[in-house]
Structure 1
Amino acid sequence: MHQLVKEFSLYQEITVYDAAQLYGEKGKYRFLQFSDHAVQGAIDLKDPKRIVLEYPRAIIHLMESNNPSFEKVFMIGHGIGTIAGHYPDKQFTVAEIDEKVVELSRHFFNYKLDNVVVGDGRQILSNEESGKFDYIILDAFTKAGTPFHLSTMEFFKLTKEKLDARGSMILNLMGKIKNDKLINAIYTTLRQTYPYTKAFSLPGEDAADIRNFIIIGCNKAVNFQSWAMAGFFEIELGQGHIIMDK
């Protein structure tokens, strides 16, 4: 593994690596990683258009299954721009709080689109017109996990206001599959706002393993094909508390 750059932004340590394998798969990869060693985005240098990580592949499937004609998407969390970069002809607004992440995505991962707004995602979303978006995607992480203000009842009500009648809210989260109080609370809070919800997880060797979750909230039944979920499988999450701003 070869380190290309390490940067210290106002929010975190960010490192870009080249590697001959990623998650056990041999090849030629480049990835961006935060200080908690979580990979925030990766590309296959031999096939840059291939989507390497499972969670963006699963999110793309959910988007195309539930509204194939979608046009407008709001994303919180840029990473290397995998999902927005996959749809150069769609209207994406990407909110990223860390300007250094945006710089690195352009320099090392060839992100060329001019659709990233630097700032707090919730604040930026609040200034958008109501009913504008087909999807809102939350893919934001700090050392402590998903930022608190992006997991509350008030935030989810804001997302519903900004979505059109067929719109969906999709979250990428990290946690444990059993007895994770925060994951259960986020899911329970989302269910107070959206009448149809589903949760999906990547497999793990042990119930205590930290893994990716994808949660979706809609105003209509959620469509998906298990074979197209990139290894994510549907799960039932436990009841949690309602997260409020105060």
Structure 2
Amino acid sequence: MHRLWVLVAVQAAISAASLVVEIVAGRMLAPYVGMSLYTWTSVIAVVLAGFSAGHWVGGRLAERPPAAALRANGWALLAAAAATAGAVFALRGTAGPVIAALPDPVAAIVVLSALVFFLPSFFAGVPAPILSMIAVASAPARKGRALGAMFAAGAWGAILGTLAAGFVFISWLGSVGTLATVAAVYAALGIASLASAGGFKGAGQGALAAMVVLALAAGGLTRPDPCTVESDYFCIRVIADDSGPEVARLMVLDHLVHGIASPDPARLLTAHAMMLSALPAMRMQGRPDWSAFLIGGGTYSVPRAWHAAGTPVRVTVAELDPAVTEAARRWFWYEPGQDRILNADARQVLAGDPARYDVILGDAFGDIAVPQHLITREFFALVHDRLNPGGVYLMNVIDHMDRLQVLASVVATARQVWPSVEVWTDPAHDPAETRRVFILVAGETPSGRTRITNASGDAIRIAAPSVQALVEGRDPVIFTDDYAPIDRLLGDRGEG
């Protein structure tokens, strides 16, 4: 392992493997703490901290004679393999206690990230200075080139690992399978390093340790998967709810319930589904037919309810993840029929297709927040341009009752585009719940009614003076493509 090209290849492989773990980390945490800005910030910070500490320790080990340094390198890689294979057990063993002990979600994300992914990154960071020192020593006449080649190998490996994780490994192997593969790569490189340092004896020791590591990785593969389906975008879980008098199933994307459905399409089991179904029908009442563009599919409860009621609507749905649509068909009784399903980002669809609609309905969420690019003034202007005369835009908003700053900001932003912006909600909201669902209704004219009552529940329109007081009582942010801090507004739980 003293040849420069071998050292370069090994360094590239280690860097690639370590970045694969970083990408997988976010996916593995998602079912427990969501896939938010805070999740990725914590993962990146923890991984970089692990690399940094590993590089420091590796630098001290690199001062040893080459054979001793290679031996330490081999054991570090085997430790990286063990820590990576054990991440599955560490996450599932600590997630519940950490989340229960830390009510602040950001603190829980940081602690959980550190407990599970610091050690894999630490041990993966040890080899870089050792291999670089050996590379420089192996090419005394070309020290600068050797050092540059090692740095380049690390960068290229990181790039290839990132691409491979996102486009190949997670899609084909899933998160746990990907971690098992990385553990096997680390173990193989560790054995090679020990063999180079100590010959047959070193290889035998490494092989014995690698067998233990691979057994651990295999154990991780046999653990129950929290995901019913792991798609390119989400951990999709289908949960049967037997607590009520009727059959119901919940669709959980990562850690958030995105819909509840029953075999009866007319029976809407959530307040937001009832409002998103009833409010457009109320606004379009009297029209012989109308068109609707839905941002997000979920359980597809709204189009199911419309079709069951004989509503004369032509439905187009932009659902980014085709696995969500397939899950709705397989487990949530959805039959597309004449509905047009587009597996694409809704903003891209609306920007690229000049078609106009009578209703555009926003019900897309990443973690607990609407994706930033779907709440901005620029997006609302695009929606306005894609509405027919008399058309209406509806949007699902979740906010904390002790803040309501997100709701105030969304209203203030929508008012930049539409003359009429209403807020509807469920009057039967449980005051013990700290979060509440609101429906924004924006158009050229206000709704003709202030209350809707049907078999699925009630909805009331918050009086215009109360909405105005809400906006004036906060310091609302006008969301733009340049600045839309919805994660911070939802994460800020202070008084105000």
TM-score, length-scaled by structure 1: 0.87
The residue type equivalent to 1:188 in the other structure is: A
Between Structure 1 and Structure 2, the one with more helix by share is 2
Cα distance change, pair 119–172 in 1 and its aligned pair in 2 (3 A): same
Q: Is the 8 A contact 1:8 1:14 kept in 2?
A: yes
Give the 5 Å matches for 1:226-245: 226-228=451-453, 230-235=457-462, 236=467, 237-239=470-472, 240-245=476-481
- 1:34 deviates by 1.9
1:183 aligns with 2:407: yes
In structure 1, C-alpha distance between the alignment counterparts of 2:262 and 2:226, rounded to whole Å: 16
- 1:123 deviates by 0.5
Per the alignment, residue 349 of structure 2 pairs with 124
Cα distance change, pair 222–108 in 1 and its aligned pair in 2 (3 A): same
Question: Structure 2: where are the runs of 5+ without partners?
Answer: 1-224, 483-496
- 1:5 deviates by 6.2
Per the alignment, residue 31 of structure 1 pairs with 250
Q: Is the 8 A contact 1:197 1:222 kept in 2?
A: no
1:139 aligns with 2:363: yes
State the SS of the aligned residue for 2:242. strand
- 1:178 deviates by 4.0
Cα distance change, pair 166–48 in 1 and its aligned pair in 2 (3 A): closer
Larger RCO, structure (CA 8 Å, separation 6 or more): 1
Cα distance change, pair 63–213 in 1 and its aligned pair in 2 (3 A): same
Q: Name the stretch that deviates more: 98-107 or 146-155.
A: 98-107
The residue type equivalent to 1:152 in the other structure is: T
1:40 aligns with 2:258: yes
- 1:41 deviates by 1.9
Per the alignment, residue 267 of structure 2 pairs with 50
The residue type equivalent to 1:19 in the other structure is: D
1:201 aligns with 2:439: no
Per the alignment, residue 298 of structure 2 pairs with 79
Q: Is the 8 A contact 1:84 1:92 kept in 2?
A: yes
In structure 2, C-alpha distance between the alignment counterparts of 1:58 and 1:82, rounded to whole Å: 11
- 1:225 deviates by 4.3
Per the alignment, residue 222 of structure 1 pairs with 447
The residue type equivalent to 1:163 in the other structure is: L
In structure 2, C-alpha distance between the alignment counterparts of 1:53 and 1:100, rounded to whole Å: 22
Identity percentage of aligned residues? 24
In structure 1, C-alpha distance between the alignment counterparts of 2:280 and 2:253, rounded to whole Å: 27
State the SS of the aligned residue for 1:228. strand
In structure 2, C-alpha distance between the alignment counterparts of 1:144 and 1:40, rounded to whole Å: 10
In structure 2, C-alpha distance between the alignment counterparts of 1:5 and 1:35, rounded to whole Å: 8
Cα distance change, pair 43–72 in 1 and its aligned pair in 2 (3 A): same
In structure 2, C-alpha distance between the alignment counterparts of 1:128 and 1:224, rounded to whole Å: 33
Cα deviation code 1:38-78 (max 9, x no counterpart): 32222223x34422222122222211222212511111000
Per the alignment, residue 111 of structure 1 pairs with 334
Per the alignment, residue 10 of structure 1 pairs with 232
Per the alignment, residue 162 of structure 1 pairs with 386
Between Structure 1 and Structure 2, the one with more strand by share is 1
Cα distance change, pair 238–225 in 1 and its aligned pair in 2 (3 A): closer
The residue type equivalent to 1:135 in the other structure is: V
In structure 1, C-alpha distance between the alignment counterparts of 2:229 and 2:405, rounded to whole Å: 33
Q: Is the 8 A contact 1:179 1:238 kept in 2?
A: no
1:97 aligns with 2:315: no
Q: Is the 8 A contact 2:368 2:398 kept in 1?
A: no
State the SS of the aligned residue for 2:370. coil
Question: Structure 1: where are the runs of 5+ without partners?
Answer: none
In structure 2, C-alpha distance between the alignment counterparts of 1:161 and 1:19, rounded to whole Å: 41
In structure 1, C-alpha distance between the alignment counterparts of 2:265 and 2:229, rounded to whole Å: 23
- 1:29 deviates by 1.1
Cα deviation code 1:210-232 (max 9, x no counterpart): 12110100101222342427343
